[in-house]
Chain A
C-alpha cells in the first residue's frame, strides 16, 4: 500500500552516493586480480575489531557502537584472489595508477575540479567488512555538476576507495565474510542534496550510471554499481539507505523513508505529550521471565531456552500503544526496536522482540500473558517487551530499547539503514561521523600533475548528455540512445559514423536495436568491437552490402570470428559492386522481355525480379535490385 505524501510539503531532500567498480586489471592497493570472484575458500582468518582514535583524539560514535557488538569476524580466503594485503598482514603497495586515471576521467566528465595532491585516508568500519578495520579512500575531485532535468545536479565530490568483503552469514556473535571483492577499486560519487522526490532520485541514479559507463572503463553487471541514498524531511535527519541495487527500487525506498521520518516526528510529539523529553524520562525494569515463558508453546522461545538463554521482559513505564504506532508504510515502532536489538545485541532470531500488548497466538496465551503482566507489574499505561537469547545479550537489548526510545524523544536518529526486498529498510548502524576518518600513514600522497590531467582529458570519452544531444539531432529514439550509452554501443556508433560516414540514424538503429535483438536471441554480437563494425558499415556505404544483411553478417562475424567480407561470403552474400550487377541486369533485361508489353507492369516486374535474382544469386541487395528494375520498367513505358 502506497501512503500518499506531499513531498514538497514534507520538505523531502535527497542526495546520492554512487559506488562504481572500475575496470582495472588489479586491485587498488595490491597486485591481486580485480573482478575474479570465487565461491570456495582455502583459508580462514579470525579477527576482532577495536575502535581506534581519530587524530583529534576522539572515538567515533559508530565505532563505539560496533565495538559493543563484540563480534567474532571470520574471513574466507582464496589464493586466487587475495594476498596477505587483504588479510592485513602486509602494508598497502602504492595506489594503482590505473584507478586514479579512471577516477580523473570520471571527474572531468562531471565538470569537477581535480584535487592537486590526493591523500589517502582511512575510514573506520568495525563491522568487519574490511579486515584492517578501515577502508582506504581519497578524494580525487570536488565541485562538479551534471545537467539534470532543466537544472544542474551538483556533485560534491568523487573519491576513490577499496571495495569491501561480501557477507556470507551473520548469526549471533559470528559474522563471516568472503574476501574476493575486497580491495577492488571503486569510485564514490557524492551528489549534493538536490533531489526533491523519489522519481528524481531514480532519474539521478540512472544519470550517474550513464556517466560512469560513458567512460568505458567501469565494470558492469550484478553488484558492479551500488548506491546509497540519503534522505531527510523537514525537521527530520539525514538517513542513509544503503545498498539500493537498482534505480527503480529507489522510488519506494525513498518514499518509505520520507513516510518513516514524518511518522517519527509525530511519534516525538506523542512522546512529548506523555512528558518524555529525554533519556532520563524513560523508566524501564528488566525481569527474567524464563520460567513463565517455558510454558508458552512458541518455537523461538523454546529454542532460546534450550540453548541456555533467557527470556527477559523489559517493562517501559507509560509506553502503552507506542510500539504499535506507524513508522514506514505497514510497519511500526516495534520494528525500530527490533532493528537496534538485532544489530547491537546480536539477537537475530525472529521475531526478535515482542510487545506484551501484541503477542502472537499460541495455546494458553491469555493465561501466560496474564502471568507475565503480573510478574512485571504492568500498569494500564505501560508496555513490556520480550527479548530472548543469551543473558548478556538480553541485557544489551534492554539498554538498546532505552536508547531507541531516548532517540525518539529527539526525533529521527541519524543512521544507516539497509535496503530490504519489498522496499523496506532496517537499521544497520548509527550514521558515522567525520571522527572515524584519519590519514593513512602507510601511503604517500599522489600528485595530480598538469601533464597527467592533460592526458586524462585527451583520453576522455564524451559525456552522456553530449552524446544524447547528438543522437537527438540524428533523430535516434531516446531509449535507443540510453541503451547504447549504457551498454557501450555508443563508443562503436560514434566511431562507425565518424569513420564510414554512414547516416547516424541508420547506424544507431542497426547497432542499438537490431544488434540488441540478435544478442537477445543468443548471438554473441557483443564480441564485436569498433573495428569489426567499421568493416561492416564500410561494405554498406560502398554499396557492397544491403542494409537488411548488416545484422546477419555481424552475427556471423561474432560467431565464427570472421572479418566482414568473409562473413558475407559465408552467408552466401556475394558482394558485387553496383556497376557490375546493374550491367549484368541491363544485359538480361535488354534481351527482349522489357520490350514486350503483353503482361501488366506488376506481372512483368515479378517475372523480371525472379530472373534477376536467379542470375545474381544474392550477390546484390534485393531492395536495390527491385528499385532498379522498377525504374527501368517505368523508363521503357
Chain B
C-alpha cells in the first residue's frame, strides 16, 4: 500500500480528459490507484486504473482487473469508487549483471530505438525498447554465451523517424566504437527503414575492419513468439565471429525459428509489412546464413557469397558523415504530372531519384519539366520500380531520349539505396561530372556488373513443385 498522496502523483490523470478525468477527480482516485469500483447496475470491479490512450475517447475509465483482464467503464455509470492502494507499474525487465568472459569477443550494441527488447507504454499503447546490457541479459540470457556486450543508447526513435541527423550520429558513433577496438558492432533498429539505414551506413562507413550488423524484430518482443531474441543472438554472434566486415542486416531467413540471413546493406529491402522473413536481398544472393546452433560442420555461419570485405582489425575505416537533405525519390506512374517536377525544382531540390517503369522509363510529357529541372542544377537519376533488373535506357528510344536529357542511369541500384547515395554524394559535391562519376561507381555492390541467375527469385506459392520445396526446406 502506497503513501504517495494524490496531489503528489504527477501522472494521476495520464491520458484522461473530460468526463473520465472528472470522475477520477471526483472519486479521489487516479492512474495506478488500486480501486473497488461499483457501477449503476451494482457490478463491482476491483483492479488498477490504467493510463488512457490519447487516441481513445474521454468517456471511459480503464481498469485492469485483478483477474488480468482490462475493461473500459463509462465514467457516468460509476456510482462509487474507493482507492484501496496505489501501485505504480515499473516497466522493467529483470536487470542482472551481464557476465563477462575475457575469452569472449567484445560487441557493442548501439541503440536507435526499435523493439529488440521492450516494454509497453499505456499512454500511447506503444512498445518501448529496453536496452541496458543488464536488461538484455535479463531478457535474453543466452547472449552471455556468445560475447561480452556493451550497449550505448544513441537515440530512442521509431524507425520512421530516423533521418539524416541520426545517420550522421550513428556513423560517427560507429567510428568511435571501431576506434575503441571492439570486435563488432550491432545496431538495434526498427525494421521499417532498416534497409535505408543499411544503405546510408554502407556509404558513410567504408572500409570497416569489423562487422556492422543491423538488427530488429518484425513481431514485437512483447510476444512470446517474437523473432527478437533469435535475431539478437544471431546478430551478436555475427558481430563477434563473422568474417564479413561490412554493413549488414541480420533478420529471419524463413518465417520459422531457424536461421537468419545476412543481407548486404546496399542490396536489401523490406518486402512484407509484417512477415518475419520480410527482408530479401534483391538482384543478388544474401551474404551468409547464421544460426544459433552450429551447422553440421561446426560453424554458425554458412557463407553464400565469397565476394565481401574480410574482417581485419588493422584496417582503418573511412567515415564520411554527410547528407544533402534536398533530395527526393519519385515513383513514376502513368499520368504522373510534370507539375510535380517543376514544383520540386522550384522548392530547390538538388537531387531526384526516379523509380521508372520497365528498363527505366517515364513518358514524354515529362521531358520538358525534366529538362528544366536539370538545367536548374538538379541531379536526376533513374532506377527501376521493378526492383529486380537493370535500368537499360539505351534499349528503347524513350530511354535514349532521357539519357540525352542528362538523366543518370543507375543500373540495378535499388531506388532507396539510390536515394541514400545521392543524398550522401550531394553532401560532398555539386560538380555534375563528379556527381555522375560517384553515382555510377559502386562503393559496395549497390551496382553489380552481373546478376546471378538466382539473384531473382520470387517463388510462386501454389505451384506443386514450389509447395513441395517450401515444405521440405523453407519452413
Contacts and interface: CB of A to CB of B under 8 A. Distances in A.
B89 A52 contact: no
B127 A49 contact: no
Interface string B455-475: 000000000000100110001
Nearest to B124: A441
A57 interface: yes
B379 to A, nearest CB: 39
A441 B467 CA distance: 34
A90 B219 CA distance: 9
A528 B224 CA distance: 48
A89 B275 contact: yes
Contacts of A437: 67-69
A138 B125 CA distance: 16
Contact of B229 (A45, A50, A115): A50
Given A46-B475, A124-B224, A119 B71 contact: yes
B56 A445 contact: yes
A636 B62 CA distance: 85
Contact of B219 (A88, A435, A439, A445): A88
Chain B interface main SS type? loop
Contact of A117 (B72, B220, B256): B72
Given A132-B224, A159-B69, A48 B257 contact: yes
A118 B223 contact: no
A88 B39 contact: no
A63 B68 CA distance: 15
A598 interface: no
B91 A47 contact: no
B105 interface: no
Contacts of A444: 55-56
A328 to B, nearest CB: 28
Interface string B276-302: 100000000000000000000000000
A438 interface: yes
A586 interface: no
A193 interface: no
A90 B42 CA distance: 40
A123 interface: yes
A597 to B, nearest CB: 78
Contact of A55 (B120, B256, B275, B471): B120
A221 interface: no
B12 interface: no
B43 A142 contact: yes
A132 B275 contact: no
A87 interface: yes
Contact of B92 (A42, A57, A159): A57
A43 interface: yes
Interface centre among A47, A63, A118, A143 (most CB of B within 10 A): A47
B467 A49 contact: no
A231 B93 CA distance: 35
A616 B94 CA distance: 91
Contacts of A134: 223-224
A113 B39 contact: yes
A57 B224 contact: no
Given A57-B91, A441-B127, A445-B56, A121 B70 contact: yes
Contacts, number: 166
Contacts of A116: 60, 71-74, 77
A49 B274 CA distance: 19
A84 B225 contact: no
Chain B: interface size category: 35 or more
B74 A87 contact: no
A517 interface: no
A91 interface: yes
Contacts of A327: none
Interface in A109-128: 113, 115-119, 121-124, 126
Given A113-B41, A117-B74, A45 B255 contact: yes
B308 interface: no
A628 interface: no
Contacts of A119: 62, 69-72
A6 to B, nearest CB: 32
Contact of B256 (A46, A53, A137): A46
B126 interface: yes
A610 interface: no
A126 B89 contact: no
B255 A439 contact: no
Contact of B274 (A46, A90, A124, A445): A90
A55 B89 contact: yes
A133 interface: yes
B222 A441 contact: yes
Interface string A61-102: 001000000000000000000001001111100000000000
A53 B67 contact: no
Contacts of B238: none
A413 interface: no
29 contacts: A43-B471, A45-B256, A47-B257, A49-B225, A50-B224, A51-B224, A53-B119, A55-B64, A56-B87, A57-B90, A84-B275, A88-B219, A90-B274, A113-B41, A116-B72, A116-B77, A119-B69, A122-B223, A126-B224, A132-B223, A133-B226, A143-B41, A433-B68, A437-B69, A439-B125, A444-B55, A445-B60, A447-B57, A447-B60
Given A53-B119, A439-B50, 16 more contacts: A53-B222, A56-B89, A56-B90, A57-B90, A88-B223, A116-B77, A117-B56, A121-B70, A124-B224, A133-B225, A138-B69, A435-B68, A438-B120, A439-B120, A441-B127, A447-B60
9 nearest A-B residue pairs (beta carbon): A133-B224, A117-B72, A437-B68, A434-B68, A46-B256, A143-B43, A119-B70, A116-B74, A49-B224
